[in-house]
Amino acid sequence: MPAEGEGAPVVRLRDAAVVRDGRTVWDDSSFELPAGSVVAVIGPNGSGKTTLLHVLLGLLPARGTVEVLGSRPTRGNRRIGYVPQNYTATTGYAVRARDLVALGLSGDRWGVRPLRAAEHDRVSRALRDVAAAPLADRRVSDLSGGQQQRVAIAQALVDDPPLLLLDEPLANLDMRGQRETVDVLAALNRERGVTMLVVAHDLNPLLSVLTGAIYLLDGHAHYAGVDAVVDAELLSHLYGTQVKVVRTAQGDLFTRTA
Ligand SMILES: Nc1ncnc2c1ncn2[C@@H]1O[C@H](COP(=O)(O)OP(=O)(O)O)[C@@H](O)[C@H]1O
Ligand SMILES: [Mg+2]
């Protein structure tokens, strides 16, 4: 097993495959993600994006070689922060933001013991790191979608994991909520060096922070650097509709359907 450290890939797949209910979701998949990456996970509905995250979390078995942070995936790995798809929609109504974040430390045994002072500090720090410190005592149900998503990210982050997996964190957010969420992810990557995989439907809001993308195409998971993946032909094939890649005079890149 390779030692973890500078240069060791955070995620490594070698001839990996996943079979669910006797059906192959994706197979023949090999790639490595360098530490510090910000990688979009893209592909049509049902192509296996959530499945990939579940494999990395040790929730689903895979064939072939899968390594995360230098080891085989194991359930309950505290070195991986996870924000599930539609997570904030499933949280309790009366929960305060700081209590939701504290769940990342105390686990699911809700209310079993009061937090120690050092844990309080970590909760406060995580909220600060997602620009949500002023929301600490607000009920999660009273927050905007973007604010809720940031609190969910704080929960995933509170144990200081080097790797964050986010399943469609931009879904159902308005443009401002998307912008604020992406800004938070960019800062976490820059300041804490967190590596992240972000499942997304639209690359545009993420283009400024991405280093690459895993794209699920034709039953395989592929990885490419951002310049290779932001390619009209590839994206058109992926989405099954004509996509154009446009670079503005300011150098900003975006994609649109032709
Ligand atoms: N709980 C499950 N049991 C069996 N098959 C599942 C389950 N959840 C999803 N699948 C199948 O796995 C495939 C990939 O699903 P998923 O990873 O959720 O796709 P995506 O996140 O890209 O929309 C789909 O064909 C889906 O039908
Ligand atoms: Mg999914």
Q: Are residues 122 and 3 in the same domain?
A: no
- Which of residues 230 and 56 earns the better pLDDT score? 56
Q: How far is the CA of 114 from the centre of ligand 1 (A)?
A: 38
Does ligand 1 lie within 6 Å of residue 86's CB atom? no
Q: Quick one: 71 and 126 in the same domain?
A: no
Q: What is the pLDDT of residues 177-201, one digit of tens each?
A: 999 999 999 999 999 999 999 999 8
Give yes or no: residues 118 and 217 share one domain: no
Q: Is the CB of 169 under 6 A from ligand 1?
A: no
Residue 44 CB–ligand 1 contact under 6 Å:
no
Measured N-to-C along each axis, helices 97-106 and 145-157 cross at an angle, to the nearest 10 degrees, of: 30
> Given a cut of 90, is residue 2 above it in pLDDT?
no
Domain identity same for 72 and 128: no
| Residue 24: count of CB within 10 angstroms of its CB | 13
Same domain, 4 and 44: yes
Residue 249 has pLDDT above 60, yes or no: yes
Kindly report the CATH number assigned to the domain that includes residue 221: 3.40.50.300
Q: What is the reported pTM?
A: 0.90
**Are residues 104 and 56 part of one domain?**
no
**Among 160, 184, 214, which residue terminates a domain?**
160
| 201 contacts 42 by C-beta, under 8 angstroms | yes
Q: Relative to the alpha carbon of 60, which ligand is closest? A: 1
Q: What CA–CA distance (Å, rounded) separates 203 from 115?
A: 39
Q: Among residues 160, 178, 209, which one ends one of the domains? A: 160
What percentage of the chain exceeds 90 in pLDDT?
64
Which atom of ligand 1 lies at the shortest distance from residue 47's CA? 22
Alpha carbon distance 48, 41 (integer Å): 10
* Phi, psi of 165, rounded to the nearest 5 degrees: -115, 125
96 and 134 both lie in a single domain: yes
Do 10 and 123 share a domain, yes or no?
no
Residue 51 corresponds to which amino acid? T
Whether residue 258 is predicted with pLDDT greater than 80 in this model: the reply is no
Q: Is 124 exposed, middle or buried (0-12, 13-18, 19+ CB in 10 A)?
A: middle
Same domain (yes/no): 126, 193 = no
Rounded to the nearest whole angstrom, what is the distance from the C-alpha of residue 7 to the centroid of ligand 2? 30
Amino acid (one-letter) located at 40:
A
248 Cα to the center of ligand 2, angstroms: 31
User: Which atom of ligand 1 is nearest to 199's Cα?
Assistant: 21
* Range in 16-20, 45-49, 120-124, 239-243 with the lowest mean pLDDT: 239-243
Per the structure, the count of domains in the chain is 2
Q: Are residues 75 and 189 in the same domain?
A: yes
**CB 54 less than 6 A from any atom of ligand 1:** no
Distance 69 CA to ligand 2 centre (A): 23
Q: Based on the fold, state whether residues 174 and 150 are members of the same structural domain.
A: no
User: Strand (E) positions, 90-226?
Assistant: 163-167, 195-199, 212-217, 220-225
Looking at the predicted structure, is the pLDDT value of residue 12 above 80? yes
Residues in the chain: 258
pLDDT value of residue 228: 81
Instruction: Tell whether ligand 1 has an atom less than 6 A from the beta carbon of residue 128.
Output: no
What radius of gyration, in Å, describes the C-alpha atoms of the chain? 18
Q: For residue 42, give its domain range.
A: 1-79+169-258
Query: Does the CB atom of residue 22 touch ligand 1 within 6 A?
Result: no
As a whole number of angstroms, the distance between CA 96 and CA 170 comes to: 22
pLDDT band at 3 (very low <50, low <70, confident <90, very high): very low
Q: Does pLDDT of 248 surpass 70?
A: no
Place of tokens 């994206």: 235
Nearest CA to ligand 1 atom 5: 20
Ligand at shortest distance from the CA of 43: 1
Judgement on whether residues 101 and 24 belong to the same structural domain of the protein: no
Domain end, chosen from 114, 140, 160, is at 160
pLDDT, tens only, 78-131:
999 999 988 766 666 678 999 999 988 866 555 556 777 888 899 999 999 999
